[in-house]
Amino acid sequence: MMTQQAPPEFPKMFADNFAKAYDAFVKAVRQAIEETIPDPVLANTPAFLSWQTRALPMLEAQNATVHEAYARFLIGETRTIVTVASERRHLGKELDGLALDFAGTDRAQSLGSLKTTAVITASRLCQAAGVP
């Protein structure tokens, strides 16, 4: 009978950076939505409504999973955060077709940067854990 090996040990900073970066992106999306709701010009667009009704709930659920995986990591269980990071490396594909300028062009660059950081930190965690 074969058993799965635990992922190799990796420095805590990779898990810290991933959890913080993903959380920062989700919080920024939530804030952008909350601050844009009063603007009828932006809040009634299909792009905004897609972020509000589809993307944000998905991101919040994923963020809860990241937090749970990070909590497990802190008590010594590394497999879950590696699995979650491996999935989150594909965040760009999951958000494909959803323009980041849903809350205005001034926010798009900041949201893009936060999204990129979340993906990069997920990839770095995977690389440190030996996941291709």
pTM: predicted TM-score of the whole model, two decimal places:
0.92
pLDDT tens digits, 48-86: 999 999 999 999 999 999 999 999 999 999 999 999 999
Per-domain residue ranges of the chain: 12-128
Query: 103-111 contacts: CB < 8 A, separation 24 or more?
Result: 103/32, 103/33, 103/35, 103/36, 103/42, 103/48, 103/51, 104/36, 104/42, 107/32, 110/28, 111/25, 111/28, 111/29, 111/32
pLDDT tens digits, 30-54: 999 999 999 999 999 999 999 999 9
> CA–CA separation, 126 vs 130, rounded Å?
6
Answer whether residue 2 shows pLDDT above 70. Answer: no
Residue 8 binned pLDDT confidence (cut-offs 50, 70, 90) = low
In the predicted model, what is the mean pLDDT of residues 81-109? 95
Q: According to the model, what pLDDT value does residue 1 have?
A: 46
CA distances from 61 to 16, 46, 78 (A): 19, 22, 20
Provide the mean pLDDT of the chain: 93
